Each structure stands twice: as C-alpha cells, then as structure tokens.
Chain A
Amino acid sequence: MSDVLGNPTIPPDASDSLAVLEKSRSTAETFGIPLAVLLEITHRCPLQCPYCSNPVELDRSGKELTTEEWKKVLSELAEIGVLQVHFSGGEPTARKDLVELVKHASDVGLYTNLITSAVLLTRERLSELADAGLCHVQISFQGVEEGLADRVGGYRGGHRKKLEVAKWTRELDLPLTVNAVMHRQNLHQLPDIVQMSVDLDADRLEVANVQYYGWALKNRAALMPTVAQLDECTRIVEEARERLKGRLTIDYVVPDYYALRPKKCMGGWGRQFFNISPAGKVLPCHAAESITGLDFESVRSNHSIAWIWQNSDAFNRYRGTGWMKEPCKSCEFREIDFGGCRCQAFALTGDAANTDPACALSPLHETIFKQAEREAEGETNRFVYRNFAGGTLESGNDA
C-alpha cells in the first residue's frame, strides 16, 4: 500500500488526446465523489510487515462488515459514481467471500483491483477471481530474495509463494503490478527489484518508500534511509523509467522527511479519496483513525456514503484551507499541498491542524529532519512486527 492510491498518478507524458480526469476542474472544485475507493475489507493478515499502513489499533474480525454489508457498499459506490475499487486489507484474501465480493463489484460495473500479499492464494482461487471479473492484481514484495524478504514480512516461505502467484497472475492473463515498499534495509536491492518485475512480466512497478506513521513510525529507526540512499534510489528509478519505457511503468513515491515541501497527501483531505475500514468507517485516509478526537461515520449509520463524504465533520474538518493556522494560512502553496499530511502532523506535533513537519516552513522541520538523519545512520535494525497484540520486537538482528 502506498500513497499512489490517494494520488492517482498522471502519466508523465499524457498527450492532448488523453486529458487526465483528475485535473478537470469540475470534480476537484465541488468535492465530487472520488473516482477510486480503497476498501480495507479486513485487518487480518499472515504477514507482519513493520511498516504496515493499517492503524496500530486494528479492527478484530468480529467487527468486520458482513458479506451482505460489503455488497450493499459496492452497489452504493457504483451508484454514486465511483469507478474503481481496490480490495485491500490487511490481507483481502483472508476473507472467504472475496470471490463473491469481486463478482458483485463487477456486476455493478466497478473496475476491480486486488492489493494482496499473495501468500494465501491458490491457483484455483486466483482463477476464480479472474472469472469473477477481477481487472488487476497488485502483489507486494518485501525484497528480491527470500532471506531479507521473509524477514521483513515476518513470514517464512512468503517470498517464494509471491513469485509463484505472480507467475499464475500472468498465466491467467491478469495484469500485474509489483508493489515494492522501500526502506533502509532493502533499498540496495532496488536494481534487482526492477529486473524481477521485468522477469515476472509485470505491467507496473510501484517503488513506494515507507511513509512514517502508524506502524512505520514505531519502526522509523530501523527503516529510515540515508539521504545518499534516497538520491541513489531516485537515480535508479529515473534510469529504469527511460530504459523500460513502453514495457514497465514505474510509479515512484518518495519519503517526505528529506523533502523541503510536503506531499499533497491524499490529494488534499476530503478532496479526491476516501477509504472504508473493515468495520465500515468511512475515512479520508487509511491512517486517519490515528488522529484522536475525530469521529468517523460508518456505513452502518443512517447516513449514505455520499452524505458522509459531503457533510460529515471528519471530512469537513481539514477540507480546503479554512482550518489552517500559520505558516500554512498565508502560504502561497496552501492550495498546492494543503499543508501536507494531517496524520503526520498529528503524530509528530500532537495537532493535526499544524503544518506537516515535512514542510521546511514548519518550526519542527529542522529538528525532525536531524533526528531522521541520525536514525538513518544508526544501527537499530530490529523491527517491531505488526500484529493484533500491538507489536512484537524482533529477536536479534541488530549489528
């Protein structure tokens, strides 16, 4: 999972005949219903990645929406104008009704994408998903060889299984995206990850540097790359993009700690993205529940999803620019980046309405940048693995 979902990317050379819809003024200005919605249908997952984008407080299976409830959600989304849904988690294949949900989504005209760790899939089940109308498969990889990859995922045999499922995906004529989450301990494998994606006949590669909130913030000292690593990462991506033009599309998400300007997180709060949590909460961002003091409406409430999007307090709280304090309030970039990431502002400053410290104009930017730099040069390599118990420290592995 990465911010690519929140910021649908524009092909770098979009021609005149292919104007990108996100750029059309009408949708952006009226907070029209987003084109794509992320459905986190469960928080259950056999992997324990230390940078998981799920909240630290995970929803237990008993709280998950039922099959009928998800089907109702899918119908409603199609009706109000959503075009694409991403089935994600947790691990979406941990739900026994996934094929039924994909089938229903296809029936109501939604473009379906599966975002998976792949380790629970059999060839038969993947084939059933394809028959149900699945349009695209995205498989996460933790590295390029099983030693490191299985250690990061905290799941023995995972890497080998992923390679197998990627092969089945292409055999079934399904397009494949390789999602590679990058950090200090695996960035050296990036050139080989590019080659692995080509060898797997992937259509897309997402090089997604870890974004540091939730689980990743707990693990920042073990994951933060050095400035030199990042520069090298950018160089590798640019070289590969040029070399593999027309063969492999590469989307690139950089970590914002070393940037001077913050990212336009989620395209701006409540502007073009929402996701639905396993328990049915409609959220402006998959990390939004980390901001305490916000009440999120559920699809189980009396409100429609469209109403929640347009009118609920949580969506309106940080929408637009009216909520801003200085230095955002008078900043010439306020409508370009909307002050960065609210979750990161909350996690690092205690107030989601503060400027995201990723911005050089934040009074905390320098301190946090220095701290990240120190951590990147440090030797803390042990992970806190993601689980329902609030995390488990890896044994050994520090230098």
Chain B
Amino acid sequence: MAGPRNISVSETSRPVLPRHAKLKYDETRKVWVILAPERVLAPDEIAVEVLQLCDGERNVGDMSDQLAAKYAAPREAILADVIVMLQDLADKGFLTEAREKTS
C-alpha cells in the first residue's frame, strides 16, 4: 500500500515524494514543477533544493547538516525551517515517509 497519510515530520523522518507527485524541470517554461493529479505546482528555489534532497534515504537531520554546511548557517535554525516546509508539503499530500522495502 502507499505511504501513510498525515505524516508528522521530525529530524529522523526520511521523506520522499509519493509516486503521484513528480519533481521535474520544465524546459519550456524554465521552471521547476511538481506534477500531481490535476495539478501543476511551481515550488520556489528553496523548496526545490530541499525536495531534491528528499530521496527516502536521507533523514531530515542529514538534510539540515548538508544545508547548514552549504549556507554556513546555524543548523538548528535550518532544521526548524526545513521541518515547517516539509510538514506543509506533507499536509498537502506532496510528501510521504519512506518505508522499508518489503519485497
């Protein structure tokens, strides 16, 4: 079955885009988009950067380490921002939690 609904994002979550949401660079309009059923969304640059890290392997803590290093910013502030952003995406159905492979 597909990933759980109503996920709660924390430092240890390993978020991933669900199958029905695809992050793609739109060559025609020169913009990143999230493709979802009946919807096309244009996430901003920061959201794109974070979403590209959502591979279902890294957890939110790892992602924050990486962003903190890249932007030489305090990790705790980044972590808090990333959690808020990802929770918002999860609440809208564009993010789920990676599961252990069963097969």
State A138–B36 Cα separation when bound (angstroms): 13
**Stretch of A44-52, A78-86, A149-157, A255-263 contacting B (4+ beta carbons < 8 Å):** A78-86
Cβ-defined contact, A174 with B92, below 8 A: no
A24 on the B face (CB < 8 A) = yes
Closest to A20 in B: B41
Secondary structure class of chain B's binding surface, majority of residues = mixed
Cβ-defined contact, B26 with A18, below 8 A: no
Chain B proximity of A145: nearest CB distance (Å): 25
B68 on the A face (CB < 8 A) = no
Cβ-defined contact, A83 with B40, below 8 A: yes
Given A246-B5, A246-B91, residue A136 in contact with residue B29 (CB < 8 A): no
B39 on the A face (CB < 8 A) = yes
Cβ-defined contact, A83 with B26, below 8 A: yes
Q: What B residues does A249 contact at CB under 8 A?
A: 93
Closest to B39 in A: A8
Q: What A residues does B93 contact at CB under 8 A?
A: 203, 246, 249
| Of A24, A245, A246, A251, most B-chain CB atoms within 10 Å | A246
Cβ-defined contact, A170 with B42, below 8 A: no
Cβ-defined contact, B37 with A18, below 8 A: no
State A357–B23 Cα separation when bound (angstroms): 41
State A15–B91 Cα separation when bound (angstroms): 11
State A18–B45 Cα separation when bound (angstroms): 10
Q: What A residues does B42 contact at CB under 8 A?
A: 18-21, 24
20 additional A-B pairs beyond A16-B44, A20-B42, A203-B20, beta carbons within 8 Å, are A8-B38, A11-B92, A15-B88, A18-B92, A19-B42, A20-B40, A21-B40, A21-B41, A24-B42, A32-B28, A32-B29, A81-B26, A81-B29, A83-B24, A83-B26, A84-B35, A135-B20, A173-B1, A174-B20, A246-B93
